Structure 1
């Protein structure tokens, strides 16, 4: 197997090391980004729900930027939400602040019972810019 082409953002949070995963991997013209949460630099969750969602997008944009991408390059999105019946509309309206205009990426929302202390997680695949 070839060595993974890993992308690390500047000022990455502690979860990558403590949970043993890479922020993103480049492969065949795409960037596969691990789920991003509203983690502070020490890996702890941002306690305010709205701020946690915004921080997840900030962390996502940091990873995308480290690979030379923006959210406009995202082709597929999966979001994980704890208690979506109560929080989906609120979180989705915050996500829309970062989404940009049409055409939109594909999207899947999944309700979960646990996200290691977080309430929201976003995972994406982006098309890498032509080199």
Structure 2
């Protein structure tokens, strides 16, 4: 019997992803599903830096903390939704993205919106994960 695992792929009859993501992620039957709230770039004391690049760095640290709390790793992430209020420096975001994912990318959506929950929040990242 074949081992059940999360798989990611890009169909051959579609365009290559325009960023570091996969077009489709498949979750095996009977997996546990985890959905996070949107994570923001807030330090543990609640302070939020002014810089979007710094918020991105802290947001990824917070994502890793949430994952560790449930004994999850980036391999369990199946979908990432990114919401930003200003243009993202993709070199900076992908630096953090690569630290988390290496070259095994989940599905991703990015949206630019006018504001998030607090005026100082410039980026919010929601993660969906599954454990086989």
* TM-score under structure 2 length normalisation: 0.66
Larger radius of gyration: 2
Number of residues of Structure 1 aligned to a counterpart in Structure 2? 100
- Relative contact order: is structure 1 or structure 2 higher (C-alpha 8 Å, sep ≥ 6)? 2
Contact 1:38–1:46 (CA<8 Å) still a contact in 2?
yes
Contact 2:36–2:127 (CA<8 Å) still a contact in 1?
yes
Q: How does 1:19-38 map to 2 (within 5 A)?
A: 29-38=32-41
1:90 and 1:114 mapped to 2: Cα distance?
Answer: 23
Contact 1:53–1:94 (CA<8 Å) still a contact in 2?
no
What runs of 5+ residues in structure 2 fail to find an aligned partner? Answer: 1-30
Partner secondary structure for residue 34 of structure 1: coil
Matching residue within 43, 68, 77 for 1:65: 68
2:125 and 2:76 mapped to 1: Cα distance?
Answer: 15
Contact 2:59–2:124 (CA<8 Å) still a contact in 1?
yes
1:59 and 1:80 mapped to 2: Cα distance?
Answer: 16
Which one has a larger percent helix, Structure 1 or Structure 2? Answer: 1
Aligned Cα RMSD in Å?
1.9
1:90 and 1:118 mapped to 2: Cα distance?
Answer: 20
Q: Deviations over 1:66-123 (max 9, x none)?
A: 0010122100000011123xx2524533343334233310000010111211111110
What is the match of residue 9 of structure 1?
none
